[in-house]
């Protein structure tokens, strides 16, 4: 029998960046700094990400475009790759994401793409820690408590376990 189900998410929206707490403001500033270093000669859409570890350390990442478009990397995945390679035993507590065009910071916050959502979900699973997602635009900031809100039906290790004999 079919059953209709509904998925809802909750998030906190701030009208100004200065309304968020100081730790989140710092992380937003670091994401914006990272966006300045992005290599985006094709789209001119520069994205920065900054991850705060439970230890307080901050790791930054940027998008890096490539003429062979599938070969580029997003800022979120760049930051997570740096986390895994440089701080493999540390747990992330938050990631801030900011974007800019040639006209400056985007008015609205940008959300992680599908690939990045999956990678953030995997990082939550790998470390066993919830990662707050801070999306910063010029006109508002959105804080989401876990990637599960942005990717509720995520693919995970459990999906690869077969119940059928091979």
Active site residues: 76
C-beta separation of 142 from 109 below 8 A: yes
State both tokens at 67: 């003429």
d(C-alpha 33, C-alpha 62), whole Å: 9
Nearest to 123 by CA among 100, 96, 92: 92
d(C-alpha 15, C-alpha 135), whole Å: 12
At residue 104's C-alpha, the angle toward residues 99 and 108, to 5°, is 50
């Amino acid at each position: 029998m079919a059953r209709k189900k509904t998925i809802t998410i909750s998030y906190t929206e701030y009208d100004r960046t200065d309304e968020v707490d100081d730790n989140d403001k710092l992380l937003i500033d670091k994401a914006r700094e990272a966006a300045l270093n992005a290599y985006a000669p094709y789209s001119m859409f520069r994205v920065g990400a900054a991850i705060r570890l439970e230890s307080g350390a901050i790791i930054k990442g940027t998008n890096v475009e490539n003429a062979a478009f599938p070969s580029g990397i997003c800022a979120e995945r760049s930051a997570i790759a740096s986390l895994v390679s440089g701080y493999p035993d540390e747990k992330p507590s938050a990631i801030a994401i900011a974007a800019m065009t040639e006209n400056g910071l985007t008015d609205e916050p940008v959300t992680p793409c599908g690939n990045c959502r999956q990678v953030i979900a995997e990082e939550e699973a790998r470390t066993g820690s919830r990662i707050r997602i801070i999306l910063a635009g010029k006109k508002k900031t959105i804080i989401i408590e876990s990637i599960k809100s942005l990717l509720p039906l995520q693919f995970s290790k459990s999906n690869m376990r077969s119940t059928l004999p091979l």
